[in-house]
Amino acid sequence: MEINWGDVGRRIKNLRRTRHLNASDFAEQMGVATRTLSKYENGHTSPNVEFLIQVARTFNVSLDYIVFGSDDVDDIPFKDILNALSDEGKKALASIAEELINFENTIKGERNTNDDRT
């Protein structure tokens, strides 16, 4: 499997932007020059494994996500979302999640009922 370094760079840039980090601050945090980060993010240079590991840890995603863009649910940074919420926000999120689960179960039940009729 070949690695598309342009895609890797776009994922790194998207992660950085979703955390509202500018390139120079993120580069400093990661211990690289801003120009180097720009080359990584634009796919002009491939980052070393240590940098990729540091990015994965910083954004609480897997290396597989950064390198291959897997859509694995484990890659969604739920810890970051939960840590950013107040106790009230966590309760609201739990309530929304519960409603979503109930809704999906209702839809599944309707599908099964319709499947039985055919």
- Kindly report, residue by residue over 71-106, the tens digit of the pLDDT: 554 545 666 677 777 889 888 888 888 888 888 888
Half-sphere exposure of 37 (CA within 13 A, CB side): 21
pLDDT of residue 7: 94
Greater model confidence, 11 or 108: 11
Greater model confidence, 8 or 69: 8
- The SS3 call for residue 61 is coil
Greater model confidence, 114 or 56: 56
The residues, ordered by sequence, that sit 6+ positions from 10 with a Cβ below 8 Å of its Cβ are 41, 43
* Range of weakest confidence among 8-17, 51-60, 77-86: 77-86
DSSP letters spanning 3-48: --HHHHHHHHHHHHHHTT--HHHHHHHHTS-HHHHHHHHTTSSPPP
| Mean of pLDDT over the chain | 85
pTM confidence score: 0.60
Q: How confident is the model at residue 118 (pLDDT cuts 50, 70, 90)?
A: low
